[in-house]
Structure 1
Amino acid sequence: MAGHESSLKDKFLSLVYGGEGTLLDWARAGKLTSILNESEIACLICEGRDTGPMRRGGVIGELRLAALRGDIKATLSEFDLWGIKPKPTGPAQEGQLYCYIHRDDARRYFARIGLDIPAGCPLWCWLNAKQASEASKLRQDQRDKADYQQECSRVWGISNALSITGLEGITYHPDLFAWRSRYEGGTLEKWAREVAPDGVKGKRGRRKKSAPA
């Protein structure tokens, strides 16, 4: 009976927790859950090499600040990864919050700040819900289009008067500027137009002034 219990336990943990290996191994195998906390994401960013308390701590701190500022959508909780509310051991831990972030929100945040993520690395695998071996099979423009349109919808949800074109239009918005380094303006305008609010689709922004003759 004990052997059956152990076998069932191992199978359960393998399915829900990745089984044997490190967080990086689980990421490359496509076994990570869609939601991670800021410490786990920092481990993927550092790829297990730069994990000293000061260096990795800086990544964790920046992710946590981005979540608290609302730059990256996250669920904030006083409970840690194990569902436990730790007792403070010092003033720095008073009211500590943990940030739980969905891969889609993380992916759009990294794209918005212009972070270049190599295909096949652990962070890429988690963000795209793919194994490292699938890195060459994903059409990046399809993923970029979906993320860009989601960001357009978010910005229009805040300011629905923005036009599509022009220097004051959606394609020049600071939160969307990172995409301009990878795609032509016409492509971005086409993508934006597909998700634009009804009152914006026919609205034209100010054209860029021509240089004097």
Structure 2
Amino acid sequence: MIEVGHNRDQKLLHQRVLVMHPKGSYQEFILNTNSDWLFPLPINVSNAEAATLTAGPGVALALTEFIKQNPSDHLVITGANSVIGLILCQLLGSTYPGLTPIVSPDSQAYFNQSLPGYPVYSIEHLQLFHGRTLIIDIAGSEPLLQQLIAAVPRASIASIALQTSNLNVPFTFVHEDFNHQIYCHLIKTVASHKLWLPIGRIFSFAETKKAQHYAKDHHSRGRVLVNLN
């Protein structure tokens, strides 16, 4: 922080902070007027990790709570190699009952490298499930969901990518409700190395257009960031 107003702690001056803003924070200077959106950063949380905290971990936590409130025999996760998918798998743990991350063949090596010891499946090798199955949809592909429903007769879907669905199974759209304490907890968890945040490539500001094309044209390999310095 380069300046502290009358309603802010003077000790924050010249300290590293994460400032979140509901209207976006892509600007050189941010005027923070709500302390709930301001987070001091420990020295062992990098700038890249702080930037990654703004999109993904909060949604993964919301999914974790939904999963706990809706127990099932099998838990299928589409888009498990995405940033949110990798964080969700970490929050659940590799031994979570019935955990079935679905990853395309092109991304399985990346998933295995990111989370060694976690189970991983492709849609082609998924066996017929019995019992209640909760499908966590991160990929947002209705054709993929249709394939899964054919293999899991007693399925329900919770999606962060689709708000509605024409599929003939119980469907819930899950979204994050911002909570200051949740992000304080996430920062402490990252600082203590209990949560690993997937960071892919970091581009310079001059390479912003290249970064946009890279994120669009490549499989998810961690968060794509732009360095404004």
TM-score normalized by structure 1? 0.27
Q: Which has a greater percent of helix?
A: 1
TM value normalised by structure 2: 0.25
Report which of the two structures shows the higher radius of gyration computed on alpha carbons.
Answer: 1
Q: Which protein has the bigger strand share?
A: 2
